[in-house]
Amino acid sequence: MAVEVGSVAPDFTLKDENGKDVTLSSLRGRNVVLMFYPLAFSGVCTKELRDIASAADRYSASNAEVLAVSVDSSYTLAAFKRDENLSAHLLADFHPKGAVAQQYGTYLDGIGIAGRATFVIDKDGKVVHKVTSEVMKPRDQQEYLTALAACPV
């Protein structure tokens, strides 16, 4: 079932690139950009996450935490973050594979990866904006930044 604008973002806990638990509800009081992407080290995903790193100060000014979720293991994500100098928290939706992507309606069961979807979540946990794109087509992060500008800090 897809998560839609106006709904409360479903809570979850996933391991980050350092193997530490990150729980969405623990970030209440901050805005969150929850970004699902297919695979670490793939061309489009790498570019999108590099773009986020280059705008880290703009996310910080919006009191926003960027969480990027893929089905990769936390070990793969640690290498990805290190090698590509990324700033987003990378979360492993590894086991059960794609469970959080399924919860958000973005898991592509036929190929076993998360689709390309982003949810902007306000500090109260409400989804205020949603962006989806085809797997091979990058999203425009300006859309996230515009949505964040409307969220209270």
Q: Do 37 and 60 contact (CB within 8 A), yes or no?
A: no
45, 64, 101, 148: which one is catalytic?
A: 45
**How is residue 153 annotated by DSSP?**
-
Q: Do 77 and 40 contact (CB within 8 A), yes or no?
A: yes
Which run of H or E residues covers position 56? helix 56-61
Report how far apart the first and last C-alpha atoms of the chain are (Å, whole number). Answer: 29
Q: Tell me whether residue 45 is one of the annotated catalytic residues.
A: yes
Question: What are the catalytic residues?
Answer: 45
